[in-house]
Structure 1
């Protein structure tokens, strides 16, 4: 591309971020790009926050319904939340300012499986989308759009929004051209047809986003990097969790339930996920594949050294060092990475067909394998369920991982009953802590409880869990899933009252 805006008609619609922000009116629903800190608009949201703050100083009401792919960054979620510019948000967030206002009851937040967002939008469940604000890496001469480091729900917002504002970010590498696969073959029930994807690397769509050019009301140029943080090196607990999981994979291969190349991997974000990925390399695995949502530094390293041969995702969530490595070898990575819309990366049909191995973090699990991955003490949202449920329910194997304790031992990650359920016992195959791994497949509730206590609980809490379980087996109303209802959540209440579950 000789210019990032190669379409003459769209080039004529260039304007400043402030001018574009002036086209977004109070009460509008705005579908914005962005998925896990990548590919979000960086100029217009900041200008919009300034405009909203000025309106509030005049005593005018000004707040928006904000829909994205997943989390964004301080320039979007943080800036708009800080000035009171958001009254509704979905489907996932990670900004401290936004989180605080959600938990204070100032912003309505809908936590939803990422794979369901596009369908909700197409079915009208989310109402009319007034504006799509989408970051792209470039505009081709025929008006097609070169996607940036994340695809997310961009296709859906562009298709459904009444008006479109494009941010063309010169900082996005032009070498992304050819890395995307945008599938336009979806339909609503009852007119759906099978999605023709059989392997993670299959290309079934187009490398560019389409857009009705008559809907484009502004084109804004920007030059800013994705604002992504660095994950700390894996600690001892993370390395032990990784070791347990890799050992389990070798056991499954020996038992004939997995092949040497496993099955397509899905990995959440964070230190534990990076540790598990590193453990696969150390465990001698080669030629693996991934069908996941996010490629972060750990997975990029495995692609770079051949441990992972092909990875499909919807976003590149890389540290500054990871971005530097990605850009340096972008021609190589373009042969081994496919970026798709999240309705494809998280599609139940594809996850089930490919037989993904889902590896995700959790806040807590209970004796029977129910998992809470979103809330503290049942009421304070952390980030959201993200895509973990898409893979846990539909994958071949569902693994949930966490250190056995938190807050210097004041909190146990294994409790009698979780304070909030995101993944029921029916969708959880493995629970893994640094203490060990509980394989819950094929077990009854009481058998699961014994495995969780023996394999995963911290020694400081194991006797407490065993005592609760023994008394529940004796005194519970029913003996199938024994619980003492007056004690089931007492550990959480004790923490709120005293600062410790002990």
Structure 2
């Protein structure tokens, strides 16, 4: 099937789901602007976007929805063609899985393997939605890794497919600066040997993983994994040996990285991509002793509320799995939920510890530990005044007096 034949399957008014991140079926998504001109307006539901497929989206008349404005999807939000849904990632996958959230056409990237086709690089809501969609169109990519746990449900009907031989969309490890390294050192000191890790995406999570090479018997149970996880496995820090759930296995919902990651997970029985009903399930997370969630955010206010969604008045992130993993880790025996962020923007002029956040992603009742390059604020069992003092202490020194004055407390000590 030539990709132009997508016009046979997509109708005006449809909701079309595209694979997220490295799981994007680029041979299909690259033709959607042309299809839009042929069939009329339809909605694209996307996750993080790492490709250039939608660079000319406004000119092509494409409109988007997502659970966040991540990667190059942030530009789509800035130009007004992306609507961000305030929804938990686990709820999103469940909604598509049972048909509560409509999906008319699903575009999947698949890999061929020893047990037939498998979802390549994401066992996510697109796979769940394919069970109910009117049409499923697949790109079978010879270079995409086949991963255990992501075997395609034989009940999913593939209406058409193309075969390609190209590198999947990649995501290189983020550049890490001195502030990120300082944050990572603080976070690494909070992670015990034998902890099971959930890790977010970006420079700070990458820096944290780089600091954990001296740890022992770490496990991975995460919404995503990247190249840095391979470093820890090959270096012996991650063994998954003491996990209570899925012992011996690295478990994730998605894989976002480079050729190094793709080749490592390809047909590797020690790595499983599982659906969000497993990776993000509160009961599963709570059952992992020392479950440790490590995520970044945009800003934290003096009550402990966390914003991971908006900056400078625009969507730049999303709710995602942050609340799922925060609550799951806190329910775990010996677990911890860590939110790590720079104390300021890159210029130092804008504090990321603020009197009040622009959007509440994590409620103050769920917050646990906040880390900046200036230290650690343990908030879980503190009252309002003590919380504010703890957060001011990890703010950038040049902003502490103004934060203290915002509380009416006078200059910070």
Q: Same fold judged by TM-score > 0.5?
A: yes
- SS of the residue 2:159 aligns to: strand
Deviations 1:425-475 (A, max 9, x none): 111111100011111121111111111112x111100111122223499xx
CA contact (8 A) 2:84 2:318 kept: no
Distance 2:285 2:55 in 1: 33
1:273 alignment partner in structure 2: 205
Give the number of the structure whose alpha-carbon radius of gyration is greater. Answer: 1
Structure-2 residue corresponding to 1:151: 123
Say whether 1:85 aligns with 2:62.
yes
Distance 2:337 2:374 in 1: 19
Matched residues in 2 for 1:181 and 1:335: separation? 9
1:124-173 C-alpha deviation (Å, 9 max, x unpaired): 4423x2222111012779xx522212221233122111221111111214
1:104 to 1:412, Cα distance in 2 relative to 1, 3 A: same
Aligned runs of 1:15-414 on 2, under 5 Å? 15-34=1-20, 37-52=21-36, 54-55=37-38, 62-68=40-46, 70-78=47-55, 80=57, 82-86=59-63, 88-96=64-72, 98-127=73-102, 129-138=103-112, 144-173=116-145, 176=146, 179-182=147-150, 208-212=151-155, 215-249=157-191, 260-262=193-195, 264-281=196-213, 284-310=214-240, 311-320=250-259, 322-323=260-261, 326-327=262-263, 329=264, 334-355=268-289, 356-377=291-312, 379-396=313-330, 397-414=336-353
| Selected match of 1:435 from 370, 374, 380 | 374
User: 2:154 and 2:15 mapped to 1: Cα distance?
Assistant: 19
Q: 1:222 deviation in Å? A: 1.9
Superposition TM-score, scaled by structure 1 size: 0.73
CA distance in 2, matches of 1:345, 1:78: 32
Within 1, Cα distance between the matches of 2:281 and 2:316? 24
| 2: CA distance, partners of 1:432 / 1:344 | 28
Q: Figure out how many residues of one structure are paired with residues of the other and give that number.
A: 396
RMSD, matched Cα: 2.5
Q: Return the alpha-carbon distance in structure 2 between the equivalents of residues 330 and 74 of structure 1.
A: 21
Query: Residues 79 and 126 from structure 1, CA distance in 2 versus in 1: closer, same or farther, beyond 3 angstroms?
Result: farther
Q: Secondary structure at the match of 2:138?
A: strand
Contact 2:224-2:256 at 8 Å conserved across structures:
yes
Work out whether residues 366 and 416 of structure 1, in 8 Å CA contact, stay in contact via their aligned partners in 2: yes
CA distance in 2, matches of 1:286, 1:244: 18
Secondary structure at the counterpart of residue 314 of structure 1: strand
Aligned-pair CA distance for 1:45: 1.4
Structure-1 separation of matches of 2:378 and 2:404 = 18
Classify the secondary structure of the residue corresponding to 2:131. Answer: helix
Find the residue that maps to 2:257 and give its secondary structure. coil
Q: Aligned equivalents of 2:378 and 2:354: distance in 1? A: 17
Q: Which runs of 4+ in 1 moved over 6 A?
A: none
Q: Which runs of 5+ in 1 are unaligned?
A: 1-14, 56-60, 183-207, 254-259, 474-502
- Higher fraction of helix: 1
When normalised by structure 2's length, the TM-score is: 0.88
Q: Work out the CA distance in 2 between the residues paired with 1:21 and 1:342.
A: 31
